Chain A
Amino acid sequence: AQSVAQPEDQVNVAEGNPLTVKCTYSVSGNPYLFWYVQYPNRGLQFLLKYITGDNLVKGSYGFEAEFNKSQTSFHLKKPSALVSDSALYFCAVRSSGTYKYIFGTGTRLKVLA
């Protein structure tokens, strides 16, 4: 069965510091991994995805994520956090032969000025 874990309910980081939001997954077959962001009272917006190839994926708003097959992880990172990055972040996984996207429970990122 597919699953996604986001072990932290909330991550606090000071503005200008690097941030990491963690995600681990479990699938049979090749994983396709996604990060979405949800701002208050808004729908989810796509940030980036890993399909194949380079393990470091770059996405919107300066975010990037590193795919690590041996650790089954896909952590979201940004070198320098902005207050405007404060939002709810969801990791999702899908694999070949399945129709469903499986979402993690979300991590609330709070960037402090």
Chain B
Amino acid sequence: DTAVSQTPKYLVTQMGNDKSIKCEQNLGHDTMYWYKQDSKKFLKIMFSYNNKELIINETVPNRFSPKSPDKAHLNLHINSLELGDSAVYFCASSPQQDRPTDTQYFGPGTRLTVL
């Protein structure tokens, strides 16, 4: 059973479109994250939710809007896609927000290509 799953795995779209990426974890974790990995493989945190509440919101354009319908799901919606949004987006989860020793578990990634 996949612990952290993301859909779709690949997403190719035109500039200006709106798209969503979905993430689900079946680990019973309270905290979920979105990361962006650019072409140089740098990994940057974008958002974190704990029990459906936003706790980390990095300097991310407001075209990016995360939504957490329940603590097992964290979706990422992107409006008006730009070329610079092309990257691999990773979802991750960890048991608790305020336990710094917790390990993060990552999904397989979604490769977004904006043409």
| CB of A23 to closest CB in B, whole Å | 14
Contact of B100 among A41, A43, A96 (CB under 8 A): A96
Interface size on A, residues (CB 8 A): 26
A71 contacts the other chain (Cβ, under 8 Å)? no
Task: Collect the chain A residues with CB atoms within 8 Å of residue B40's CB.
Answer: 105
Q: Which residue of B lies closest to A92 (CB)?
A: B104
> In the bound complex, what is the Cα–Cα distance between A100 and B97 (angstroms)?
9
Q: B56 and A100: CB pair below 8 A?
A: yes
Contact of A46 among B50, B103, B108 (CB under 8 A): B103
Q: Which residue of B lies closest to A27 (CB)?
A: B100
Which segment, of B41-49, B59-67, B69-77, B78-86, faces chain A? B41-49
> In the bound complex, what is the Cα–Cα distance between A103 and B108 (angstroms)?
18
Q: B106 and A43: CB pair below 8 A?
A: yes
A55-82 interface with B by 8 A CB criterion: none
Q: B90 and A44: CB pair below 8 A?
A: yes
Known: A43-B90, A94-B100. A100 touches B45 (CB 8 A): yes
Task: Collect the chain A residues with CB atoms within 8 Å of residue B108's CB.
Answer: 42-43
> In the bound complex, what is the Cα–Cα distance between A101 and B55 (angstroms)?
13
Digit string of A76-113 for contact with B (CB within 8 Å is 1, else 0)? 00000000000010100011111111010110100000
> In the bound complex, what is the Cα–Cα distance between A94 and B41 (angstroms)?
20
Q: B106 and A45: CB pair below 8 A?
A: yes
> In the bound complex, what is the Cα–Cα distance between A83 and B92 (angstroms)?
28
B101 contacts the other chain (Cβ, under 8 Å)? yes
Q: Besides A36-B106, A99-B56, 8 other CB < 8 A contacts?
A: A32-B100, A43-B109, A45-B106, A46-B105, A90-B43, A96-B100, A99-B98, A101-B104
Binding site for A on B (CB under 8 A): 4, 40-43, 45, 48, 50, 55-56, 90, 92, 97-98, 100-101, 103-109
